[in-house]
Structure 1
Amino acid sequence: MAKGKAKGPKGKKITLKIAKNSIRITLDGGRRLDLSKMGITTFPKCILKLADVDELDLSRNMLKKIPSSIQKFQKLRWLDLHSNQLEELPEAIGTLQNLFYLNVCNNKLTTKNLPEGLNLLKNLHILNLGLNCLDSIPTSLGALRELTEIGLFDNALTTIPNSVKKLPKLKKLNAERNPFPDSTKQVEHADSIKCVEMLHLVQEKDLCSSCLKMCMDERDKLNKLMNVTPSCLKKPSFPLLLTPNSTAKDNQEEWRLRDNLPRHSTDHVP
């Protein structure tokens, strides 16, 4: 009988031709390489030949590792890795000095595998670490002085360091569904941190199982709170869409524009 380690699922092979055909021009003229929902299990080396793109979307795949060669994407302003199986991030991610937005939500990241290089992303404005396995947040993230939004929801946090809560430009901090011993103390800086929930429409088929369960639980809670049922609502209905604060956002063009990003050729959010 043949021996050997059991192999994981064999993902789709991404060729350079496929990658080139997946480049999209954003509303503000940037170039986005969109390889989301492609069934990718390993980082496609061929895309290193397209390292001059402004945005890279590898979300909703089955990636377990991002190689240090990610540092070749020096023009990158937008990196979306949400809903994969990442257990760590490379130290080299800290070299992406133009990065404006980083989404690693819904992975398997632990605190010890967060690279120290994260605190080198001096231009980072939006960081999403939600739906991971974090039991603490490094105080070094307080070095991200340009940060305006940070997602820490659905982790195992018991506290948030003051260096993060008191970041000078922070406007939104979402730390819901963490086992804080006293949740009221975690929003003591609430006057300057607006814990705003944004509403996004997303098709149910595009949500991972954990996101879908979270959305449906939140919808049930909202219905109970309002003491109404979905059939009683008078608002226009969207039978195939879920509405509670989804972390998996498909159509974000309006959101990009609404966030008032700097008007440069690289400023665009997928």
Structure 2
Amino acid sequence: MAKGKRAPKGKKITLKVAKNSIRITFDGRRRLDLSKMGIAVIPKCLLKLCDVEELDLSRNVIQKVPDWIQRFQNLRLLDLHSNQIEKLPESIGQLQNLLHLNVSNNKLTAKGVPMELSQLKNLRQLNFGLNAIDVLPTTIGALKELKEVGLFDNNLTTVPPSILKLPKLKKLNTKRNPILLKKELEAEQQEAIQRVENLYLVSEKNLCSPCVTKCQAERSMLNKLKNIVTPLVKKPLFANLVTPNSIAKEIQAKD
């Protein structure tokens, strides 16, 4: 922390409060829910509860994730969205059972994304949306189990090919990034993005009227943009197919 910069004052969480915040999920897992508690510093007393399988610290004013987060070896879900986190600790790579990691809406930059993230071999969902990341480590491509990746609202100018080649990738959200495709990667990236986009093509008859109207409006807007910017790769036309409601398909969790 910079000299003279005061840490935000937050609510102090005792072990008793933390124990009372444990909930049992519908599938029988123990979830420690400390969201919206005004927490500025993650209290070390939580180590007494390090056997929980889900930890929700979202919507607080947390600036730092402690190194001892690695002690939560049973964690399957770690939700840190909507805080003031600037850097993730290298020790986060030790959470070998982690399936879902959400650090969207924070203050992460490229320096705040550790290379050790590539050690999370079982990770299925990764949300980095709403941060200030301009470069991603190519080692994220080592996360072969990833199915959903949120990179929306960052400063990315390109997406590493290693991410686009993830074998199980189904959802990739790169909206509102200043992405500039390099010439040598154009075909490769467009093919991968098209592969993901094609998963969401549905028949018009399966959509309700409001959704059809919305999809047609979005398609019309896309066509206008294509007339302005020369397309990198021509895509085949699909008769009677439209893109479903994009809002419903956003990778970020809606409250």
**TM-score of the pair, normalised by structure 2:** 0.75
Tell me, in whole angstroms, the C-alpha distance in 1 between the residues paired with 2:16 and 2:130.
33
Whether 2:247 is the aligned partner of 1:249: answer no
Secondary structure of 2:172 counterpart? strand
Tell me, in whole angstroms, the C-alpha distance in 2 between the residues paired with 1:189 and 1:140.
18
Tell me, in whole angstroms, the C-alpha distance in 1 between the residues paired with 2:87 and 2:169.
25
Confirm or deny: 8 A CA contact 2:127 2:252 kept in the other structure. Answer: no
Tell me, in whole angstroms, the C-alpha distance in 1 between the residues paired with 2:6 and 2:89.
23
Aligned to 1:14: 13
Tell me, in whole angstroms, the C-alpha distance in 1 between the residues paired with 2:133 and 2:139.
15
Secondary structure of 1:190 counterpart? helix
Q: CA deviation at 1:107?
A: 0.6
Aligned to 1:192: 195
Aligned to 1:95: 94
Matched-pair identity in %: 60
CA RMSD of aligned residues (A): 2.6
Whether 2:118 is the aligned partner of 1:119: answer yes
Partner AA of 2:50 in structure 1: A
Tell me, in whole angstroms, the C-alpha distance in 1 between the residues paired with 2:174 and 2:80.
20
Tell me, in whole angstroms, the C-alpha distance in 1 between the residues paired with 2:141 and 2:16.
41
Tell me, in whole angstroms, the C-alpha distance in 2 between the residues paired with 1:6 and 1:120.
33
Confirm or deny: 8 A CA contact 2:15 2:46 kept in the other structure. Answer: yes
Confirm or deny: 8 A CA contact 1:173 1:195 kept in the other structure. Answer: no
Give per-residue Cα distances to partners, 1:167-201, cap 9 Å, x unaligned: 1111111000000125994543134323889xxxx
For residues 119-268 of structure 1, what are the structure 2 equivalents within 5 Å? 119-182=118-181, 185=186, 186-194=189-197, 225=217, 245=250, 247-250=252-255
Aligned to 1:56: 55
**TM-score of the pair, normalised by structure 1:** 0.71
Tell me, in whole angstroms, the C-alpha distance in 2 between the residues paired with 1:117 and 1:72.
16
Aligned to 2:31: 32
Number of matched pairs: 208
Please, which runs of 5 or more residues in structure 2 have no aligned partner?
A: 201-213, 219-246
Tell me, in whole angstroms, the C-alpha distance in 1 between the residues paired with 2:102 and 2:178.
22
The structure-2 alpha-carbon separation of the partners of 1:34 and 1:116, relative to structure 1 and needing over 3 Å to count, comes to: same
The structure-2 alpha-carbon separation of the partners of 1:244 and 1:140, relative to structure 1 and needing over 3 Å to count, comes to: closer
Aligned to 1:204: none
Please, which runs of 5 or more residues in structure 1 have no aligned partner?
A: 198-221, 227-241, 251-270
Secondary structure of 2:193 counterpart? coil
Give per-residue Cα distances to partners, 1:20-53, cap 9 Å, x unaligned: 0100000000000000010000111111100000
Structure 1 consecutive aligned stretches of length 4 or more whose deviation exceeds 2 Å:
4-9, 181-188, 194-197, 242-250
Tell me, in whole angstroms, the C-alpha distance in 1 between the residues paired with 2:5 and 2:92.
30
Confirm or deny: 8 A CA contact 1:170 1:192 kept in the other structure. Answer: no
Partner AA of 1:249 in structure 2: K
Q: CA deviation at 1:6?
A: 5.6
Confirm or deny: 8 A CA contact 2:51 2:74 kept in the other structure. Answer: yes
Q: CA deviation at 1:247?
A: 3.6
Tell me, in whole angstroms, the C-alpha distance in 2 between the residues paired with 1:161 and 1:178.
14
Partner AA of 1:53 in structure 2: V
The structure-2 alpha-carbon separation of the partners of 1:106 and 1:196, relative to structure 1 and needing over 3 Å to count, comes to: farther
For residues 37-48 of structure 1, what are the structure 2 equivalents within 5 Å? 37-48=36-47
Confirm or deny: 8 A CA contact 1:172 1:195 kept in the other structure. Answer: no
Confirm or deny: 8 A CA contact 2:173 2:250 kept in the other structure. Answer: no
Please tell me whether Structure 1 or Structure 2 has the larger radius of gyration of its CA atoms: 2
Of structures 1 and 2, the one scoring higher in RCO (CA 8 A, sep 6+) is: 1
Whether 2:71 is the aligned partner of 1:68: answer no
